[in-house]
Amino acid sequence: MTSLSAMILLPLLGALFCYQTRDRNAVATARVVALLSLLQSLWALVDGPRQPFSQPWLPQLGINFDLALHPAGLAMLVLTPLLTWGALGLTRPGLERRSEYCGHLLMLLAGLQGLFLADNLGLFYVFFELILLPTLLLVARWGGERGRAAALKFFLYTLMGSLPMLLGILALGFQTGGNGLAFGQLAHLPEELQQSLFWLFALAFLVKLPVFPLHGWQIDLYRTAPAPVAAVVAGAMSKAGAYGLLRVLVGIFPEATAHFAPVVAGLALISILHGGVSALGAPCLRGVLAYSSLSHLGLLSLAVVSGTGSGQSGAILQMFSHGICTGGLFLVVAALENRGFSTEIKHLSGLARSTPQLAALALVLTMGSLGCPGLCSFPAELSMLLGIYTASPGLALLASAGVVLAAWYGLRFYQGTFNGPAQDGLRHADLNESEWVAMLPLVLLCFGVGLFPDLTILQWTRALL
């Protein structure tokens, strides 16, 4: 068993073990598994490029268990277990059926690690669908009264994108004569074939991100899912769509991507502006984070289809940076909810006086999200906007409005929660040790990537290019 396959197998076995363990031991067990998975990913990056792993699976269909490190997935292999670790650390005390909850989170981790390592289009599809099941179970079971409705809505939207992609994979299998679906074997497809299949794949990725008008599931899911689960969904699972844009569309359908770039760019631009304006009017913290994600990932999509090296490098860094900030802010929301606070902004103010440590961490993550220089989103957004400007100065000008809106709704998020007059008589305990350990790594990464982007993710990416 190679280290690449172990990165999938460890959380998978951990999930199976959690399903069998007692509730009181489930969180501790799952956190150990998530930590070991994080150490595995860090070792794979520090150890440098390694030989791909390949094992026959369904050779008659061209689907083999092919794994490899790819630049677009490197950062997410680290961030996904880190967010899972943080989500487990912010799990609400007394949560019922914790063994199942932890098992589902580890199953989601295993699916995402497999997705970011898959080097075969058929295997990619298997993991792309596998991450759906634990997400649906987590939202439907622990999402409150509206959890099942939100899970069903997410399922229907995902099905709308996944079935066309399956048809596209089958069509590719027939067109290539059963020679295999490894990504390397699908390079240099005829341009006519690329254009005929492009939207079958693009639809699945644009739903998963999402972009306008395929974002109908997002606000409901982000509002109803347990906040720690929303941290993993927003910070890591949404990057399955971004990774698909880079790995599949740009990698397998480059000419078709260039041909249809104006359409995708138009949808991305609408997402940037619609998400930013909607975040300004969102009444609750979860709504602000949901719409801000729509805006930020719209900018990422626009950078990917710009066809420029700086735009796509910035998009890879933005996958990581957005996961740090938005995932971290959902953990902040989890900490507030665990203390009995409402997430409606009109019911919040002055919490910095009773929870100054939480306020300090939230300030860093908020400033990182809105692109403050010296924090993680700044180099990512700068690189993306430079790439977009190279392709189209007009689009770059319009897209930069999203950055302005981010400052507006980001400050509204923080000031409405932590600044202003304190609520009378409310005194709540500040961060405990478990919450510090869960959130502090994200804050440190926010500084580290912002100050030294070339020494972190971009350096790892260049090692494989």
pLDDT digits (tens, 9 = 90+) for 152-195: 999 999 988 889 999 999 888 887 665 678 888 888 888 899 99
Q: How far apart (Å, rounded) are the C-alpha atoms in residues 402 and 63? A: 41
Q: For residue 407, what pLDDT is reported?
A: 87
Look at 420 and 418; give whichever has higher pLDDT. 418
Q: For residue 179, what pLDDT is reported?
A: 65
At residue 454, does pLDDT exceed 80? no
Q: How far apart (Å, rounded) are the C-alpha atoms in residues 243 and 179? A: 24
Burial class (CB in 10 A: 0-12, 13-18, 19+), 381: buried
Which alpha helices (H) appear in 176-253, and where do they start and end? 191-208, 216-224, 227-232, 239-244, 250-252
At residue 458, does pLDDT exceed 80? no
pLDDT band at 351 (very low <50, low <70, confident <90, very high): confident
Q: How far apart (Å, rounded) are the C-alpha atoms in residues 313 and 366? A: 23
Q: How far apart (Å, rounded) are the C-alpha atoms in residues 191 and 52? A: 28
Tokens 């860090």 belong to residue: 42
Comparing 70-74, 328-332, 368-372, the range with the smallest average pLDDT is: 70-74
Chain segment 278-293, per-residue pLDDT in tens: 998 888 999 999 999 9
Q: What are the structure tokens assigned to 234, written together?
A: 């927003």
Q: What are the structure tokens assigned to 67, written together?
A: 């794994």
Q: For residue 352, what pLDDT is reported?
A: 81
* Domain ranges, residue 382: 3-464
Average pLDDT (312-334) is 93
Q: For residue 83, what pLDDT is reported?
A: 96
Identify the H or E element spanning 37.
Answer: helix 23-46
Judged by DSSP in three states, 55 sits in: strand
Domain count, the chain: 1
Chain segment 360-369, per-residue pLDDT in tens: 999 999 999 9
- Residue 83: closest CA among 130, 17, 37: 37
At residue 329, does pLDDT exceed 70? yes
Q: How far apart (Å, rounded) are the C-alpha atoms in residues 235 and 242? A: 12
Tokens 């897209």 belong to residue: 399
Average pLDDT (132-144) is 92
Identify the H or E element spanning 98.
Answer: helix 98-117
At residue 464, does pLDDT exceed 50? no
Comparing 44-58, 289-303, 326-340, the range with the smallest average pLDDT is: 44-58
Q: Calculate what percentage of the chain has a pLDDT beyond 90.
A: 55
Chain segment 98-117, per-residue pLDDT in tens: 899 999 999 999 999 999 99
Q: How far apart (Å, rounded) are the C-alpha atoms in residues 284 and 343? A: 5
- The three-point CA angle 88-89-90 to 5° equals 90
Q: For residue 386, what pLDDT is reported?
A: 93
Comparing 32-41, 47-56, 215-224, the range with the smallest average pLDDT is: 47-56
How many other C-beta atoms are found inside a 10 Å radius of the C-beta of residue 356?
12
End-to-end CA distance of the chain: 26
Q: Which residues, at least 6 apart from 293, have a Cβ–Cβ distance to it below 8 Å?
A: 218, 222, 234, 238, 275, 322, 326
Identify the H or E element spanning 280.
Answer: helix 254-281
Contacts 24+ apart (CB under 8 A), 343-347: 343/284, 343/285, 343/286, 344/283, 344/284, 345/283, 345/284, 345/285, 345/288, 345/412, 345/413, 345/416, 345/417, 346/283
At residue 463, does pLDDT exceed 50? no
What is the four-CA torsion angle of 315, 316, 317, 322, rounded to 10 degrees? 70
Q: For residue 465, what pLDDT is reported?
A: 41
Q: How far apart (Å, rounded) are the C-alpha atoms in residues 454 and 441? A: 19
Half-sphere exposure of 85 (CA within 13 A, CB side): 22
Look at 87 and 179; give whichever has higher pLDDT. 87
At residue 348, does pLDDT exceed 90? no
Average pLDDT (8-21) is 92
- The three-point CA angle 201-204-206 to 5° equals 105
Q: What is the pTM of this model?
A: 0.93
Q: Which residues, at least 6 apart from 198, have a Cβ–Cβ distance to it below 8 Å?
A: 249, 253, 256, 257, 259, 260
Tokens 């092919």 belong to residue: 66
Chain segment 201-232, per-residue pLDDT in tens: 999 999 998 999 999 899 999 999 999 999 99
Chain segment 145-154, per-residue pLDDT in tens: 888 999 999 9
Task: Judge contact between 65 and 54, C-beta under 8 A.
Answer: yes
Judged by DSSP in three states, 85 sits in: helix
Q: Report the chain's mean pLDDT, rounded to a whole number.
A: 88
At residue 457, does pLDDT exceed 60? no
Q: For residue 113, what pLDDT is reported?
A: 95
Q: For residue 48, what pLDDT is reported?
A: 58
> What is the DSSP code (8-state) at residue 245?
I
Which alpha helices (H) appear in 350-432, and where do they start and end? 356-369, 377-391, 393-418
Look at 10 and 45; give whichever has higher pLDDT. 10
